[in-house]
A = this chain, B = another copy of it.
Amino acid sequence: MTSDPTPVRPVEVDRTSPVPLYYQVATRLQELIESGEIGVGDRIENEVDLADRLGVSRPTTRRAIQYLVERGMLVRKRGVGTQVVHPKVRRPVELSSLYDDLIAGDQGPRTAVLSLAVVPADATVAAALNLVPGAEVTWIERLRYAGDEPLALMHNAIPLDVRDFKREELEVRGLYELLRRAGRVPRMATQVIGARNATLAEARMLGEKRGASLLTMTRTAWDDRGRALEYGSHLYRAARYSFELNLSAG
């Protein structure tokens, strides 16, 4: 016995608002699902009826539903209907979460800039940023703290044309924010997560014992036009840090 689809109750769209209709509908649906009014496993009203009742066209309704399907909240099946599969938005791994270490620099955890200099790129950096070997880059070394304890040792290389960095700004605002202010917004990134044992020097900086397990993460980020923006090579204390990913398959 299949349960009847839950009708979406009082919903009105605001046609004077600059917010697109499909987005208004999607947001409303999302609220209903997150609040539990439409539970996991429930079917929602079919597109045609929903569109009618909201007073919008079917394409608009479809687009709203599609938006939530892509976010992993809903699943559609032809001939069957649209079902809630998850009450929370499961983002398909966002750059924002990827950059949380940088964003977070704006708020809580303290970040110390250990060094900031213009140096010639070594082979690895040059390859990652698609530069000619020996081209100059801004090289940043930072130590991130969580409370009093060191958490991560972060190295970044940024092409010279991206921006001129100042130490104080970097400590206060964080790398990500500075890039954004320069109008260079990351659009794409590849990252590799691995692990290895700490060297003596690394262990000392991070307050670990030699040989302690460290998480390694290297990342290259590109902007809108495919220009390399940033190369990062970071070390995290494995005992105090892990990466969390939410994935969805369409």
List the one stretch of A12-20, A92-100, A151-159, A167-175 in contact with chain B.
A92-100
| A194-B238, A214-B213, A242-B192 given; A247·B98 CB < 8 A | yes
* Chain A count of residues within 8 A CB distance of the other chain: 47
Asked whether A93 lies within 8 Å of B247 as measured between CB atoms, the reply is: yes
Chain B contacts for A248, CB-based, 8 A: 95, 187-189
Asked whether B213 lies within 8 Å of A249 as measured between CB atoms, the reply is: no
Asked whether A75 lies within 8 Å of B187 as measured between CB atoms, the reply is: yes
Tell me which of B40, B191, B214, B249 contacts A187 (CB under 8 A).
B249
List the one stretch of A24-32, A112-120, A142-150, A219-227 in contact with chain B.
A219-227
Mark contacts of A194-220 with chain B using CB atoms, 8 A cut-off: 1 yes-contact digit, 0 otherwise. Answer: 111100000000000001111100000
Asked if A193 is at the interface of the complex by the 8 Å CB criterion, the answer is yes
| A194-B238, A213-B195, A215-B195 given; A187·B72 CB < 8 A | yes
